[in-house]
Amino acid sequence: MAELGGDALTWKEFGEQHLDALAGLAEGCLATDGGLPLFARPPLLRARLLQARTLGAWHDGGLVAAVGVGTGGQPATSTGLVHPAWRGRGLGSRLLSWAGEQAGDADLLLTTESWSPDADALFTARGFERTFTEWVLRHDLTTLPAVARPHGVTTEPVTWDIGPELFETYRVSFADRPGFGASTAEVWLGDLRDDDEYRPDLSLIARGPDGTAVGFLNVIDNWIDQVGVVPGWRQRRVGAYLVATALRSLAEDGAREAWLCVNDNNPAAALYRRLGSADAGRRARYLRRHL
């Protein structure tokens, strides 16, 4: 038992049986900070918080703060949350210190799916460097953009028989991005096949006048997961047309909103916003190397 700000807290481990409590904590943070809505679902909660070592703070039976630390690799990994109503009382600092202790001599990688300026200030003050930031964007599908089909371009739904061509279009479209490291076609396509929410019927491949693939878009559930255009076809509105087509298809399929994530230094973010997507928070990673 510990006293912080006059409120009695119980600190203890948490596990699978506390998944509902973790979801409630994540939802509280997302409601205030924005971020990745998938974070409140069991798969991502398990991946981020149900790690080898866990610590939660409880008040009157409710979970108000939690952190998980994975210590099986280099770097060690950690994700923590403090409910907005309990911020400003030192809980975040305590969770961060505990995570550092569990990491030991390993570097420590922090992942936040619900970024906030206060968390950023805390991490920076503790010597962490932000290594990755994405904007989470939401598109209300009651309003759809109109983008004319680029001259000579046709689109078709993805089918598995064009899987190798889809992968090659992805590889060529992303090859010039800093830090890009393509997996193999077998792995990349296998991940799509294994994802129960992948929508090949709504995903698209774009072709130029000679039938060569010039761009692609993948849809997972109601997420625009990836959009790419090969270098020679950029600045011709191919990406905008693919996104607008996918948004219309999602709306016709009954979705009320569509989501996507985009790196904060990716110029495509401006395109998505022009097409009607609105900022819905950020997600980030921070690294501190053990000296």
Give a three-class secondary structure readout of the chain: CEEECCEEEEEECCCHHHHHHHHHHHHHHHHHHCCCHHHHCHHHHHHHHCCCEEEEEEECCEEEEEEEEECCCCCEEEEEEECHHHCCCCHHHHHHHHHHHHHCCCCEEEEECCCCHHHHHHHHHCCCEEEEEEEEEEEECCCCCCCCCCCCCEEEECCHHHHHHHHHHHHHHHCCCCCCCCCCHHHHHHHHHHCCCECCCCCEEEECCCCCEEEEEEEECCEEEEEEECHHHCCCCHHHHHHHHHHHHHHHCCCCEEEEEEECCCCHHHHHHHCCCEEEEEEEEEEECCC
Indicate if 165 and 228 belong to the same structural domain: yes
Q: Which residues pair with 289 in a beta bridge?
A: none
Indicate if 56 and 131 belong to the same structural domain: yes
**Is the residue at 204 inside a domain?**
yes
Which tokens is 198 given? 């992948």
Indicate if 90 and 185 belong to the same structural domain: no
Contact 12, 63 (CB under 8 A): no
- Identify the burial level of 2 via C-beta atoms within 10 angstroms of its C-beta, where 0-12 means exposed, 13-18 middle and 19 or more buried: exposed
Indicate if 195 and 126 belong to the same structural domain: no
Indicate if 118 and 149 belong to the same structural domain: no
Indicate if 70 and 194 belong to the same structural domain: no
Indicate if 130 and 22 belong to the same structural domain: yes
User: Which CATH number fits the domain that encloses residue 155?
Assistant: 3.40.630.30
Q: What residue numbers bound the domain in which 181 lies?
A: 143-255
Q: What is the pLDDT of residue 7?
A: 64
Contact 37, 259 (CB under 8 A): yes
**Is the residue at 129 inside a domain?**
yes
Q: Please give the average pLDDT of every successive group of 10 residues along the chain, which has 291 residues.
A: 59 97 98 97 96 96 97 94 96 97 96 97 97 97 97 97 96 87 91 96 98 98 96 96 98 98 90 96 95 69
Indicate if 169 and 238 belong to the same structural domain: yes
**Is the residue at 111 inside a domain?**
yes
Indicate if 132 and 147 belong to the same structural domain: no
**Domain count within the chain:** 2
Indicate if 199 and 113 belong to the same structural domain: no
Give, to the nearest 10 degrees, the angle between helix 185-194 and helix 163-174. 110
pTM value is 0.91
In this structure, the strands spanning 108-112 and 76-82 are parallel
Indicate if 13 and 40 belong to the same structural domain: yes
Q: What is the pLDDT of residue 202?
A: 98
CA atoms within 13 A on the CB side of 137: 22
Q: What is the pLDDT of residue 181?
A: 79
